[in-house]
């Protein structure tokens, strides 16, 4: 079994190999900072270790530091103290030395002295075996949140299919065949298996989502919208939740493949398109930015004779008129559909002609608003069909600053995304917008078909769908799910990420683990201090850094027992 020195060889390997050009993935540059703790100690390890090898690498998690800085542990008089990289000047000679080290490491890797990332990934999944069952690789992949149908993994999956067809044992992969399959997407796969995505412990997070789904499923209140005949045909038992993170991790539960119409959930999307095309200043010459305090379909304008905001019917109609001005309805429709397809990563986006005809026959008030604004026949966009799965990718594109997470394509400008999320936050939930902003604290848009498009900026997009509505026109189960979500996770816009210990933080590895740095004190004093701060965090253990009562010491607190 191949053995190597962990502290030096593997360090060079990851520092050099992870600088390969990124294939098939675009990451948000504003992702959470990564913190490190490096030690001079040597440790013999076997490359057949499980996920621990890839995940640990040379980087050990430390504590929260300022964004954009890396934190290391240096030793002063036998104690470990945190030092930020930004505080250490880097000379030209040091840069040259670093470049030389990287070149030497790459040369050794090519010569076969160092294992490649492909080798390490194989050893991680194989767990000491000489071959990997294909189903084991695919199961491990799914556990990270990635799907085999992810467009970024197309080369890997295509090569895997061809390889299996041309081998005598069509269900097993040896090391060479495995490397051949994964090499085109090795950077994305390495990030996945090293838990470097925005939600590191995705299986644990998904299980929590399933629990929230089941809890909301028991609700029986609400009525399916019947003023549009086609909507009244949906069963009140339908209930689905889909999510997509900014790294393309996916999870779905319930009736997520049933098509339904976006209805008012399309309003923020076409507003985003209008701002993308014309800019904020131009669009808001014709539409306001304030909540109306009135029903969404009122024939009422603000004191400047403009619709109050793009999330009410009058504002949505004006938004539509700004898209491809002068073009025919058919050209506008195709233009918007092209945008929505890109936002959904080319997943299902359709059109329900039955719903369109139903709306046209029952939409007298909207025609009145249209004539009132000297516009007409624009309700066609509300009849655009999606599934929960495709709509969650749309929401994730908004969460990801306009980049579609599963294609890496920029669809919307940062300005369009920012303005859209701002108005969703203040005006997106009909007359419940203030309550929703207070209790949930996230941008969202609801529709009378039962959908709620929810965005957790820089983290994920979620689509909830259940036809029964409350008196304000929002999905009963969807509202409950969103409320429970921010009660369990610190996703509320104003949750403090460092000091809100009574909530899970799925962006941290382990979810329930927190790390703090305390000033000089002995171990007993530290325990007393923690007991005063929060009784939820019971167990205190020192990290790998050396413990010394006369200097700053880093400790890790682990959650035990039931939550308060």
Q: Is the pLDDT of residue 33 over 70?
A: no
- Choose the weakest-confidence range: 114-118, 196-200, 343-347, 445-449: 114-118
Q: What does the pLDDT read at residue 18? A: 46
Q: Is the pLDDT of residue 12 over 80?
A: no
Q: Is the pLDDT of residue 156 over 60?
A: yes
- In this predicted model, which residue has the larger pLDDT, 547 or 285? 285
- The pTM of the full predicted model, rounded to 2 decimals, is 0.70
Q: Is the pLDDT of residue 85 over 70?
A: no
- In this predicted model, which residue has the larger pLDDT, 181 or 169? 181
Residue pair 208/488 in contact (Cβ under 8 Å)? The answer is yes
Q: What does the pLDDT read at residue 203? A: 94
| 474-513 pLDDT per residue, tens | 999 999 999 999 999 999 999 987 766 678 899 987 654 4
| Mean pLDDT of all residues in 196-219 | 96
- In this predicted model, which residue has the larger pLDDT, 441 or 376? 441
Per-residue pLDDT band for 374 (boundaries 50, 70, 90) equals low
Lookup: tokens for 387: 């599934």
Q: What does the pLDDT read at residue 117? A: 86
- Taking the chain, what is the end-to-end CA distance rounded to the nearest angstrom? 48
Q: What does the pLDDT read at residue 531? A: 55
- Choose the weakest-confidence range: 59-73, 92-106, 324-338: 59-73
| Mean pLDDT of all residues in 375-387 | 66
d(CA 503, CA 212): 15
Q: What does the pLDDT read at residue 268? A: 94
- Choose the weakest-confidence range: 41-45, 107-111, 160-164, 423-427: 41-45
Q: Is the pLDDT of residue 151 over 80?
A: yes
| 418-438 pLDDT per residue, tens | 999 999 999 999 889 999 999
Residue pair 239/255 in contact (Cβ under 8 Å)? The answer is yes
What is the radius of gyration, based on Cα positions, of the chain?
Answer: 27
- Choose the weakest-confidence range: 60-64, 131-135, 553-557: 60-64
Q: Is the pLDDT of residue 8 over 80?
A: no
Q: Is the pLDDT of residue 44 over 80?
A: no
- In this predicted model, which residue has the larger pLDDT, 79 or 226? 226
Q: Is the dihedral of CA 508, 509, 511, 516 positive or negative?
A: negative
| 219-264 pLDDT per residue, tens | 999 999 988 888 889 999 999 999 999 999 999 999 999 999 998 8
- Choose the weakest-confidence range: 62-76, 80-94, 491-505: 62-76
Q: What does the pLDDT read at residue 35? A: 35
Residue pair 297/369 in contact (Cβ under 8 Å)? The answer is yes
Q: Is the pLDDT of residue 530 over 70?
A: no
Q: What does the pLDDT read at residue 49? A: 39
- Choose the weakest-confidence range: 32-46, 273-287, 394-408: 32-46
- Choose the weakest-confidence range: 172-181, 359-368, 532-541: 532-541
Q: What does the pLDDT read at residue 183? A: 92
What residues have CB less than 8 Å from 42, skipping those under 6 apart? Answer: 5, 6, 7, 8
| 297-315 pLDDT per residue, tens | 555 565 666 787 888 888 8
Q: What does the pLDDT read at residue 214? A: 97
* Other CB atoms within 10 A of residue 77 CB: 8
Q: Is 303 exposed, middle or buried (0-12, 13-18, 19+ CB in 10 A)?
A: exposed
Question: Quick one: which of 557, 531, 549, 544 has its CA closest to 72?
Answer: 544
Lookup: tokens for 472: 């304000």
Question: Quick one: which of 450, 394, 382 has its CA closest to 421?
Answer: 394
Q: Is the pLDDT of residue 107 over 70?
A: no
Distances (CA, A) of 430 to 309, 436, 514: 11, 10, 38
Torsion angle (degrees, nearest 10) of CA 256, 257, 262, 268: 60
Q: Is the pLDDT of residue 380 over 70?
A: no
Q: State the DSSP code for 22.
A: P
Per-residue pLDDT band for 39 (boundaries 50, 70, 90) equals very low
Q: What does the pLDDT read at residue 294? A: 59
Q: Is 93 exposed, middle or buried (0-12, 13-18, 19+ CB in 10 A)?
A: exposed
Q: Is the pLDDT of residue 22 over 60?
A: no
Lookup: tokens for 324: 């491809």
Report the percent of the chain where pLDDT is more than 70: 63
Q: Is the pLDDT of residue 163 over 80?
A: yes
| Mean pLDDT of all residues in 348-376 | 62
Distances (CA, A) of 482 to 237, 289, 443, 453, 534: 18, 24, 11, 10, 26
Question: Quick one: which of 262, 122, 109, 255 has its CA closest to 178?
Answer: 122
């Amino acid at each position: 079994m191949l053995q190597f020195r962990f502290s030096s060889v593997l360090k060079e390997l990851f520092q050099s190999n992870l600088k390969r050009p990124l294939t098939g993935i675009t990451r948000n540059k504003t992702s959470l900072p990564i913190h490190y703790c490096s030690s001079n100690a040597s440790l013999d390890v076997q490359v057949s270790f499980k996920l621990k090898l890839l995940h640990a690498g040379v980087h050990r998690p430390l504590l929260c530091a300022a964004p954009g800085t890396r934190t290391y542990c240096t030793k002063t008089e036998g104690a470990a103290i945190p030092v930020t990289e930004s505080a250490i000047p880097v000379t030209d000679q040091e840069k040259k030395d670093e470049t030389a080290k990287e070149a030497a490491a790459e040369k050794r890797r090519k010569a076969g002295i160092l294992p490649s990332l492909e080798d390490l990934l194989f050893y991680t999944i194989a767990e000491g075996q000489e071959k990997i069952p294909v189903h084991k690789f695919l199961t491990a992949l799914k556990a990270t949140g990635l799907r085999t149908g992810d467009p970024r993994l197309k080369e890997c999956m295509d090569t895997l299919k061809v390889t299996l067809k041309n081998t005598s044992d069509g269900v097993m992969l040896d090391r060479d065949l495995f490397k051949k399959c994964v090499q085109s997407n090795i950077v994305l796969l390495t990030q996945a298996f090293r838990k470097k995505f925005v939600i590191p412990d995705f299986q644990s997070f998904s299980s929590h989502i399933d629990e929230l789904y089941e809890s909301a499923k028991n609700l029986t209140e609400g009525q399916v919208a019947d003023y549009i005949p086609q909507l009244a045909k949906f069963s009140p038992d339908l209930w689905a939740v889909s999510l997509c993170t900014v790294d393309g991790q996916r999870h779905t539960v319930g009736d997520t493949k049933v098509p339904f119409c976006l209805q008012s959930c399309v309003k923020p999307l076409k507003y985003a398109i209008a701002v993308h095309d014309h800019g904020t200043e131009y669009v808001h010459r014709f539409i306001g930015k304030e909540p109306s305090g009135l029903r969404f379909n009122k024939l009422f304008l603000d004191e400047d004779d403009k619709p109050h905001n793009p999330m009410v019917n009058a504002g949505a109609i004006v938004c539509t008129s700004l898209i491809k001005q002068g073009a025919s309805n058919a050209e506008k429709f195709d233009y918007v559909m092209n945008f929505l397809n890109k936002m959904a990563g080319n997943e299902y986006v359709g059109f329900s002609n039955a719903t369109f005809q139903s709306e046209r026959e029952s939409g007298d008030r909207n025609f009145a608003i249209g004539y009132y604004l000297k516009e007409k026949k624009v309700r066609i966009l509300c009849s655009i069909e999606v599934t929960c799965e495709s709509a969650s990718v749309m929401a994730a594109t908004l969460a990801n600053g306009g980049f579609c997470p599963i294609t890496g394509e920029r669809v919307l400008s940062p300005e369009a995304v920012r303005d859209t999320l701002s108005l969703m936050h203040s005006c997106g939930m009909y007359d419940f917008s203030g309550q929703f902003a207070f209790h949930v604290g996230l941008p969202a848009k609801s529709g009378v078909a039962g959908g709620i498009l929810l965005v957790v900026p820089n983290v994920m997009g979620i689509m909830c769908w259940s036809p029964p509505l409350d008196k304000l026109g929002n999905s009963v189960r969807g509202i409950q799910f969103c409320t429970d979500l921010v009660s369990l996770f610190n996703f509320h816009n104003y949750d403090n990420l460092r000091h809100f210990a009574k909530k899970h933080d799925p962006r941290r590895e382990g979810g329930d683990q927190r790390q703090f740095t305390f000033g000089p004190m002995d171990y007993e004093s530290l325990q007393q201090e923690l007991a005063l701060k929060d009784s939820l965090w019971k167990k205190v253990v020192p990290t790998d850094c050396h413990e010394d009562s006369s200097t700053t010491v880093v400790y890790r607190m682990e959650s035990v027992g039931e939550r308060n």
